[in-house]
């Protein structure tokens, strides 16, 4: 048996050596889910039988002397908008009631081929629309550091699964910060890869030009290990990029000496909790002690990122969600004619936040408003990307807090969508620019974890892993465990 909190890399090494059986490890995590999840609400579906079957196959490979894979026996939790064949996909919504996909998402399939064990599907904001995992149609998810507070969103279930030792690795999706933000608020590591690094085949779309699948784990080493397995082109996804996938583990171990860390100080001077800013400054000092050099950079258009994001994302969402009409799959309302069936199905199946974003997206794409809103937002998006291009002339990574505050109480911001949207102020620029972002734990504020966010050049996740690993080598924030 292994202690709770073992890293994915530790699990894989010990399973491959035959020191621990994948079946025993899987049962241990399933028992932990049964004991802890009723008060946390991280999982929507637990795939116990399927997981144990996978574990038996891994143990058989080890017994036969064959390579069981880079992630042998690692328990993985999957956000419930990535398909797993035969397992319900709900996207946290009633409108997909009863839907079981006939195929598995490429990102999940690649983990499974590397020996990982999918133990369940995790809770999320409906169709990934939210920053707190309170918008799920089924249950809110609670932060294990304080059960009265949110875990962040929309990948809150995945972040909690790792933070509460119910999984060694988890998959989320990041459209405007939905991996990095819950990673920060739950005290784990989360990666939003470069757009195109990971196949989106088998991933239910929110905003197709922004969504990206990524891993959450205890350490940068674990995230790098998962990235090595998941990254790469996929014939089933035309948006996946044919870019070489390096050995991230080797790159991570080279240290931070000589790295230039850019800090956009003017962008950080308003709306940031004092404790979060203190933790951020301390993290910069730790990076400097590891051999990095900090320089000031400018992101002059970053202040427009939230407004830009909520035009682009809602426009794409209004198009993507048009397919949920009660005709092909999921919920179908009984009605006297086709038009009423469409309307009643969508009214009953979608929650308030999804309806709000569909309406906003339809408005900004409508005749007479397209140029004023959507076209202008795409122009600002280009300026934000150019700002990062210019910043990376002076630095190797850009650093900022992941979130402006620690986790807030459940229900505090649900009545004020604009305040909720502002929680993503530091994360949405990366999605608009298509660049990678890494959040690593950087301390506790009032007993709650907060994160350091590192942003990199397109397809340069290796440098993010290098900086993040060097930071974790000097600090112990990632070793902290929640009391719940």
Phi then psi for residue 339, to 5 deg, are -60, -45
Alpha helices in 395-456 (DSSP H): 417-421, 428-433
CA distance 431 to 212: 9
Q: How far is CA 110 from the centre of its chain?
A: 17
DSSP state of 483: -
Say if CB 44 and CB 260 are below 8 A apart.
no
Q: Which of 6, 79, 136, 192 is catalytic?
A: 79
**CA-to-CA separations, 7 to 138, 226, 334, 452, 454, in angstroms, rounded:** 30, 12, 49, 20, 21
DSSP state of 211: -
CA distance 176 to 128: 10
**CA-to-CA separations, 47 to 26, 37, 53, 159, 296, in angstroms, rounded:** 11, 14, 10, 18, 48
Q: Which of 93, 131, 132, 178 is catalytic?
A: 178
DSSP state of 132: S
Torsion angle of the four alpha carbons 206, 428, 424, 275, in this order, in degrees rounded to the nearest 10: 150
Q: Is the dihedral of CA 332, 85, 51, 205 positive or negative?
A: negative
Which 3 state secondary structure label does DSSP give 75? strand
Q: How far is CA 61 from the centre of its chain?
A: 31
Q: Write out the two tokens for 230.
A: 């998941």
Q: Write out the two tokens for 480.
A: 């902290």
CA distance 23 to 62: 12
Which 3 state secondary structure label does DSSP give 451? strand
Q: Write out the two tokens for 342.
A: 């469409």
Q: Is 252 designated active site?
A: no
Q: Which residues pair with 261 in a beta bridge?
A: 294, 397
Q: Which of 6, 93, 132, 154 is catalytic?
A: 154
Q: Is 79 designated active site?
A: yes
Q: Closest Cα partner for 40 from 166, 187, 160, 186?
A: 160
Q: Is 93 designated active site?
A: no
Catalogue the active-site residues: 79, 154, 178
């Amino acid at each position: 048996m292994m202690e709770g909190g073992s890293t994915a890399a530790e699990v894989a090494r010990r399973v491959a050596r035959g020191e621990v059986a994948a079946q025993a490890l899987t049962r241990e995590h399933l028992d932990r889910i049964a004991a802890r999840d009723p008060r946390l609400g991280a999982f929507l579906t637990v795939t116990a039988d399927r997981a144990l079957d996978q574990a038996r196959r891994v143990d058989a490979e080890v017994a036969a002397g064959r390579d069981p894979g880079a992630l042998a026996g690692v328990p993985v939790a999957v956000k419930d908008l990535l398909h797993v064949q035969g397992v319900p996909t709900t996207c946290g919504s009633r409108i997909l009631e009863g839907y079981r996909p006939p195929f598995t998402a490429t990102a999940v399939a690649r983990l499974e081929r590397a020996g990982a064990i999918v133990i369940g599907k995790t809770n999320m904001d409906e169709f990934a629309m939210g920053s707190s995992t309170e918008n799920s149609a089924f249950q809110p998810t609670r932060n294990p550091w304080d059960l009265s507070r949110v875990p962040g969103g929309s990948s809150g279930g995945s972040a909690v699964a790792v933070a509460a030792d119910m999984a060694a690795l988890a998959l989320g999706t990041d459209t405007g910060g939905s991996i990095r933000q819950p990673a920060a608020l739950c005290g784990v590591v989360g990666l939003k890869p470069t757009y195109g690094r990971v196949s989106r085949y088998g991933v239910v779309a929110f905003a197709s030009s922004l969504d990206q699948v990524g891993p959450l784990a205890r350490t940068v080493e674990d995230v790098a290990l998962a990235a090595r397995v998941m990254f790469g082109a996929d014939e089933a996804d035309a948006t996946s990029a044919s870019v070489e996938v390096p050995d991230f583990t080797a790159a991570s171990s080279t240290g931070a000496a000589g790295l230039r860390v850019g800090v956009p100080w003017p962008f950080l001077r308003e709306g940031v909790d004092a404790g979060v800013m203190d933790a951020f400054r301390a993290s910069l000092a730790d990076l400097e002690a590891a051999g990095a050099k900090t320089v000031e950079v400018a992101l002059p258009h970053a202040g427009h990122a939230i407004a830009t994001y909520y035009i682009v994302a809602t426009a794409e969402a209004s198009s993507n969600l048009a397919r949920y009409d009660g005709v092909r799959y999921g919920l179908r309302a009984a009605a006297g004619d086709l038009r009423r069936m469409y309307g009643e199905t969508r009214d009953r199946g979608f929650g308030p936040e999804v309806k709000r974003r569909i309406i906003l997206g339809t408005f900004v794409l409508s005749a007479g408003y397209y140029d004023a809103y959507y076209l202008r937002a795409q122009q600002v998006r280009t300026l934000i990307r150019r700002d990062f291009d210019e910043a990376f002339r002076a630095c190797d990574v850009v650093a900022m807090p992941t979130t402006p505050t620690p986790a807030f109480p459940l229900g505090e911001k649900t009545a004020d969508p604009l305040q909720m949207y502002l929680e993503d102020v530091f994360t949405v620029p990366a999605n608009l620019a298509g660049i990678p972002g890494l959040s690593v734990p950087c301390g506790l504020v009032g007993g709650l974890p907060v994160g350091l966010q590192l942003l990199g050049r397109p397809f340069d996740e290796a440098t993010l892993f290098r900086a993040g690993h060097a930071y974790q080598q000097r600090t112990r924030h990632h070793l902290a465990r929640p009391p719940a």
